[in-house]
Amino acid sequence: MEGWSEACRGSASEERMVEASKGRWILNSGNLACQIASWLPLVRLPAFRRCNQSCYRSVVALLASDAALREELEEALSTALAQVDKRVWVGIRLRPHDRHDGAENCLQVDRRQIVQTLGPASRVNFFFDEIFKEDTRQEDVWSRLQGPMMRTLLRREHCCLFAYGQTGSGKTHTVFGDPSTESSKGVAFRLLENLGKLLNGDTYPSISEEVQEKAVIEFSFLEVYNEKIHDLLSNSKLCTLAGEREELEPGSAYKAPILSAEERVVVRGLTRRRCDPGQLTQQVGSWLVEGAASRMVGKTVFNPRSSRSHAVATIHICWNDMPDQKKGNETRVYIVDLAGSERSGQYATNTEQLREGAHINLSLSTLGRVVTALSRGHGDHVPHRDSALTWLLTDAITGHQARAFMIASVNPLHSAETLSTLRYAQAYSSLQSDLSTKIPRLKAMLRTLQRQMEKARYELDSLCLDINTNSRSGRTTEWSRDTLRSRVVRIARRGQEHFQNHPFFKWTDAHEMKAVLGQAGILEETCARPPEREAEEPEDGRRRQFREPGSASSTCARVIFAGRHGYPPVQLWFPEEALEDVTPHPRLRELLTTFEKAEIAFQQKQAQLDATVKAFAAQQQQWMD
C-alpha cells in the first residue's frame, strides 16, 4: 500500500484540504482516527489503513459514507498501478542439480542478471525481471508474482501465466507442484487460494458483498496434443477451434450482417464447470488434479514423466454488473504449462515420440516466430494461425489484451538448451511496449484500407472508361480522376459574342473549331488581366496589343484542351462569361468522393504506422542504451 501511495503522490489537490476543512468528510462519531483520515490526502488513505485496526475501520467507514470519494480513490489507484505493472513479466528459474555428477554449471547469477559461459572467452549476458536460484522455494516464486497478478485481477484485466523451458527443467513442478504438501504447492494452487480470498472478501472486506453478487466463476481445462484440442474435463474429448466476430448490425435478405474487425477465438464443445465462490480453491483444485491426470505424458531421455502436450487451464470470471457491455464483462485467467522443447530427432526413443516432439517443436517455434515478429516492430505478418496453441492464446501471448507472466525454467547442466531458452525469454521480455503489438494491427488495417482504396479506384476508372467510350466523339472531355477534380468547361452557345470589342481577346479559328466540336477543357486559372502574348507565342485568343479595359471588364480564364490523335494539348484564353461548366455523371461524383475518402484514410493510417514504427525504434534504442 505504501508503494501505491508513493506512486500516486502528487495527485492530491488543495481543494480536497479545503473541502475537508469545511467538514464534508468528517464523521459525527467523534473518533479521532476518523477525523485524521478525513484530513489526509486521497492517496494516503491506503497507507493509513494499515496502521492499526482503528485506522482500518475509520477508512472503511469514510469510504462507505462517500461514494464519490470511493470512486475517486479507486480511479487514482488503478491509474498508478497500471503505470507500475508491466505488460510482460519474465522470470528465470534454475533447476536444482547435483554438483557431483561431473557436469559443469554454465550459469552465473547476479541479482537480475544471468551470465552464461559458452567457452573460455565467450560470455552472454541476459537481464530479466526476476531470477530464481536453485534453492528458491515454491512460496518464494509466488510471493514475487502475487502482487502484480492480483492487481491485474482487481482491475478486471485478463491474466496469463506461462511456464516455458526445456524438457525436465521443472516447468510443471513450478506451475502445479504437489498440492497435498504446502511447501510443494505450485503457483496455480496458490493463485486459486488468493483469488478465492479476493472473491470471498477475506482480503478486501469492503467489496466482498458486491463481488459475491456480481461474479460468476467457471473453469475449463484443455490440452493441445499433436496440434489438436482435447477437453481434459470430459475424457479428452476432441474439440475444434473457430474464429468468431461480434455482429454489430444484423443482416437482412438484401444485406449481409456487419461484423466487427477483431476476431475472437473460441473452443467449440469445451466443458466449462460452474464454481462456487466459497469453494473455489477446493473445486478448481480438484479439477486441476483431475485434468492433470488425463494429460499425455511419456518417458524421455531427460524426464521419466515428461509432458507431451501443452496444458491450458482457464478461470472465467463473469461480471454481471455490466449487462450493457458486450465486451469486457469476462475476466480470464490463463494458466499455461507448455510442453518441454527438445531435440526430438536426437533424443526420441520411438516413432510416436518423434511425431510428438515434431508437433511440440512446431507450436513452440511458431510461438517464437510470433514473438519475433512482434518484437521487431516492422509490421510483419504475425503467424498466429500457424499453430493451434498460438491461435488459441492470441489475446494472451503478448500482453495486448492480457498481462502476461512467464517463468522460463532452465537446467544449468544443459548449455545448448539453456541458451535457447534464455534467448527466447529475452525476446519475449522485449514486448514491454504496446507499440510492439500495435504495429501489426496498424499494418492489417492499412492492408484493409488499401484494398478499399483500390476497389474504389477500379470502380471509378471503369465507369470513366465506359462513359468515355459510349459518349459521342468530341462532345465531352475524357473523364478521369484528374478531370473530375478540376473545373471542366466548354464554349457557351453564343460565346463568340463576348469576344466582340473585348480589350484583351479576339475570336480565332481555334476557338471556332472548339465551339463547333463542343469540346470541353479544364479551366486552369482565372485572372483580371492576362499577360500579353509575345511574338513567338502561337495564337491563343490574346491580342498582341491590349486596349484599355472598360469599367465593366470581365474575368479572364485560361483553358487547356486535350490534344486529339497524338496532337499536344491546346491552350486558349476566354472571357469567363463565354464559358459554361460541364457537369459529370452523378455516379462519377459519388465514386470520386468514395475514392478520396478511402485515399485520405489510407494516408492517415500510413502516417500513423510510420510514426509508431519510429517511436518503437526509439524505445528499443533507449532500452538497449
Q: How many Å apart are CA 163 and CA 340, to the nearest integer?
A: 9
**Mean pLDDT across the stretch 138-161?**
87
Q: Which residues share a beta bridge with 341?
A: 166
Give tens-digit pLDDT for 518-531: 888 889 889 988 88
**Mean pLDDT across the stretch 32-38?**
73
More confident residue, 458 or 209: 458
3-state secondary structure of 527: strand
pLDDT at 107 over 60: yes
What pLDDT score was predicted for residue 595?
92
Q: Which residues share a beta bridge with 254?
A: none
* Ligand-binding site membership of 243 (annotated): no
Which strands form 521-527's sheet, in the order they lie side by side? 570-575, 556-561, 521-527, 488-491, 579-581
23-45 in b/e form (b: 16+ CB < 10 A) is eebbbeeeeebbbebbebbbbbb
Q: Which residues share a beta bridge with 561?
A: 570
Q: How many Å apart are CA 553 and CA 527, to the nearest integer?
A: 11
pLDDT at 24 over 70: no
- C-alpha cell of residue 149: 497478478
Give tens-digit pLDDT for 460-509: 989 888 888 876 544 556 788 888 888 889 899 888 988 888 889 999 99
* Highest averaged pLDDT of the listed ranges 26-30, 106-110, 255-259, 557-561: 557-561
Chain centroid, CA 366 distance in Å: 19
CB 518 within 8 Å of CB 474: yes
pLDDT at 348 over 70: no
Indicate the pTM of the whole model. Answer: 0.60
More confident residue, 425 or 323: 425
From 126-135, 353-362, 565-574, the region with the lowest mean pLDDT: 353-362
* Ligand-binding site membership of 165 (annotated): yes
pLDDT at 317 over 70: yes
More confident residue, 257 or 328: 257
More confident residue, 25 or 219: 219
Domains of the chain: 2-79 (no CATH), 136-241+263-409 (3.40.850.10), 480-583 (no CATH)
Q: Which amino acid does the sequence have at 453?
A: M
CB 107 within 8 Å of CB 169: no
* Ligand-binding site membership of 172 (annotated): yes
More confident residue, 306 or 279: 279
CB 53 within 8 Å of CB 4: no
* Ligand-binding site membership of 152 (annotated): no
Q: How many Å apart are CA 198 and CA 194, to the nearest integer?
A: 6
Q: Which amino acid does the sequence have at 109?
A: V
Confidence of residue 453 (pLDDT cuts 50, 70, 90): very high
With cell 489484451, the residue in question is: 401
What pLDDT score was predicted for residue 183?
86
Confidence of residue 398 (pLDDT cuts 50, 70, 90): low
What pLDDT score was predicted for residue 208?
45
**Mean pLDDT across the stretch 430-453?**
78
pLDDT at 603 over 80: yes
CA–CA distances in Å: residue 185 to residues 198, 281, 406:
19, 13, 18
What lies within 8 Å, CB to CB, of 527 at 6+ separation is: 555, 556, 558
State what percent of residues in the chain have pLDDT above 70.
77
Q: Which amino acid does the sequence have at 274?
A: R
Q: How many Å apart are CA 564 and CA 570, to the nearest integer?
A: 10
* Highest averaged pLDDT of the listed ranges 3-17, 19-33, 103-117, 555-569: 555-569
pLDDT at 23 over 60: no
Q: Which amino acid does the sequence have at 577?
A: E
The beta-strand segments (E) located in 351-458 are: 402-410
CA–CA distances in Å: residue 257 to residues 250, 251, 252, 260, 376:
5, 4, 7, 10, 36
Confidence of residue 222 (pLDDT cuts 50, 70, 90): very high
- C-alpha cell of residue 67: 461514494
The distance between the two most distant Cα atoms of the chain, rounded to a whole number of Å, is: 115
More confident residue, 75 or 267: 267
Give tens-digit pLDDT for 152-184: 888 788 888 988 888 778 888 898 888 888 888
* Ligand-binding site membership of 122 (annotated): no
Confidence of residue 214 (pLDDT cuts 50, 70, 90): low
* Highest averaged pLDDT of the listed ranges 169-183, 350-364, 365-379: 169-183
Confidence of residue 125 (pLDDT cuts 50, 70, 90): confident
**Mean pLDDT across the stretch 566-581?**
89
CB 38 within 8 Å of CB 25: yes
What pLDDT score was predicted for residue 379?
56
Q: How many Å apart are CA 546 and CA 502, to the nearest integer?
A: 9
Per the prediction, the chain carries an average pLDDT of: 78
CB under 8 A, 24+ apart: contacts of 75-78: 76/8, 76/11, 76/42, 76/43, 77/4, 77/8, 77/43, 77/46, 78/155
Confidence of residue 207 (pLDDT cuts 50, 70, 90): very low
Phi, psi of 130 (to 5 degrees): -155, 145
Q: How many Å apart are CA 131 and CA 242, to the nearest integer?
A: 38
